[in-house]
Amino acid sequence: MPNRRLSLAVLTLTACGGCDVQILRAFTLHEELQKMYDIVYWSFVLEKTELPSKVDVTIVNGAVKTEKDLALLKKVRNITKKLFVVGTCGGFGGISGQADYWPVNATLKAVYGGELKEAPKLLPRVYAPADIVDVDYIATNCPPKIDTIVAILKAIYEGKELKSKPTTVCSQCPRKIPEIKLDTYKPKRLDLVHQANPEDCLLVQGYLCLGLVTYSGCGALCPSFGLPCFGCGGPSWLVAVRRDFDILPTLVRRLAVLGGADTAEDEDKLMSKLVEAYKIRRLYVFTIGSSLVRGKPRAHAVKAIVGTRKDPRLAEALISERKSVLGEPKRG
C-alpha cells in the first residue's frame, strides 16, 4: 500500500454526465477514497484543470465520438499507470453507439438542421474507449454501480487484483423459469410488460429480456422490479470472450434449449419470431458501438446498422421525432 495519496484524473468523453455523477457520489459516500486519491484533473468538478504530464490512475467515461475524444484518450493512456473505464459507453459504446445507425450528416441535419461550422469534428462512427486503448478494468452498467467503482479504486490503491465473475443477470434474478412450449411461443409487446406474471421469467413469458446474454453485477435490478433487462451490463462473459458467440444467436440458442429444442431448424424459427417482433436493433441497444460485438463472424449488429442506414424512412423518422419534441431546428 502506498504511503501517499495517488493522483487521479477523470476523463469525460462524449457522455451524458451520469457516470460523472456516480464517480462523484462514490467519493462523497465513501470518504475513505478521499484519503487514497488526490483528484488532479476532472472537467466536471474542477474549475480550471489541465492534464498533468503523469498520473497514477485515470477513470475514463463516455464513448469516443469526436476527434478530440480520440486525441485525449490516447494522451491519457500515455501518461497514466492504471486506467479503468466506467459505464457501458466506456466498455461497449453504450447508448452513444446508437448514433451509428445514421450517417453523421443525417444526425446533424436531424438535430441542428444542417452542418455546424463550429461543431467538434465527428468521427465516422462511435468507438468504446476499451476498443482503442488497453484498459485495466471495466465497470459496466449505465450508469455504473457506485460499489463497483469503489471496489476498483480500493483494489488499485491497495495493489490487489480484482477478479470478475463470469455470470449473467439471470444468475441474480429471483424469477422462476417454468417450462417453455416453443411451438406456441409468441413474443409480446414490451409496453404490455406490466401484464406479466410477477413470479416467472419474463423471457419465457414472451417479453424480450436480455438477462441470459448480459453480464451480471446489477443484482438483476430491472427484472426484480417488473422490467426486462435491456442489456446495460454489456455482453455476457461468453459473448465477450468467444468470437463465435453473438448476442442474438446465443439468446436464441439458450431459449431453444430451455424449450427442449435441439435442431437448427427450431432455432431458426425462434430467431425469425424474435427478429420480426423486436427488430435486430433492439438486441444491441447498449453494445452496437463495440468493436468486440461488431467483429463477430456474420455479425447481426452490423446487419442492423446496414439495414437501418439503407432505409431512408428511419432518417426521416429521426427528423420528425426531433421536430415533435424540440420544434424546427434553429441553426444550419
User: At CA 84, angle to CA 80 and CA 88, rounded to 5?
Assistant: 145
Contacts (CB under 6 A) with ligand SF4, residues 98-127: none
Judged by CB under 6 A, the residue of 9, 39, 60, 61 near ligand SF4 is: 61
Question: Any contact of residue 94 with ligand SF4 (CB under 6 A)?
Answer: yes
Sign for the CA dihedral angle at 149, 150, 156, 161 comes to negative
Residues 6 or more apart in contact with residue 82 via CB below 8 angstroms? 56, 57, 58, 136, 156
C-alpha distances in Å from residue 125, one per residue of 42, 63, 287, 295: 26, 10, 13, 14
- Residue 237 interacts with ligand SF4 (CB under 6 A): yes or no: no
Minimum distance, C-beta of residue 182 to ligand SF4, in the bound complex (Å): 15
Number of residues that bind ligand SF4 (CB under 6 A): 36
User: Shortest approach of ligand SF4 to residue 54 CB, angstroms?
Assistant: 26
Q: Smallest distance, Å, CB 138 to ligand SF4?
A: 11
- Which residue's CB is nearer to ligand SF4, number 206 or number 223? 223
Contact call for residue 65 and ligand SF4 (CB under 6 A):
no
Q: Report the largest interatomic distance among the alpha carbons of the chain, rounded to a whole angstrom.
A: 64
**Contact yes or no for 309/101 (Cβ under 8 A):** yes
Stretch that binds ligand SF4, among 12-20, 106-114, 149-157, 299-307 (CB under 6 A): 12-20
Minimum separation from the CB atom of position 317 to ligand SF4 (A): 22
- Distance (Å, rounded) from C-alpha 132 to C-alpha 71? 11
129 binds ligand SF4 (CB under 6 A): no
Of 16, 104, 190, 299, which lies in the binding site for ligand SF4, with binding defined by CB under 6 A? 16
Angle at which helices 146-158 and 18-29 pack, to 10 degrees? 60
C-alpha span between 292 and 296 (Å, rounded): 7
The residue at minimum Cβ distance from ligand SF4 is: 211
**Span from 14-22, 38-46, 149-157, 313-321 in contact with ligand SF4 (CB under 6 A):** 14-22
- Return the H-helix or E-strand segment holding 42: strand 37-42
Residue 232 within binding range of ligand SF4, rule CB under 6 A = yes
Among 93, 97, 129, 233, binds ligand SF4 (CB under 6 A): 233
Structure-block grid coordinates of residue 103: 450517417
Rounded (5°) CA angle 74-80-82 = 110
- The footprint of ligand SF4 on residues 286-325 (CB under 6 A) is none
d(CA 230, CA 14): 21
Residue whose CB is less far from ligand SF4, 109 or 261: 261
User: Does residue 148 interact with ligand SF4 by CB under 6 A?
Assistant: no
Stretch that binds ligand SF4, among 140-148, 152-160, 289-297, 313-321 (CB under 6 A): 140-148
Site map (CB under 6 A) of ligand SF4, residues 198-227, x = contact: ---xxx-----x-xx-x---x-xxxx----
Which run of H or E residues covers position 266? helix 264-278
SS3 241: helix
Which of 82, 86, 74, 105 minimizes the C-alpha distance to 44?
86
- Position among 42, 230, 245, 278 found at the interface with ligand SF4 (CB under 6 A): 230
Binding-site ranges for ligand SF4 (CB under 6 A): 15-16, 18-19, 61-62, 87-89, 94-95, 141-143, 169-170, 173, 175, 177, 201-203, 209, 211-212, 214, 218, 220-223, 229-233
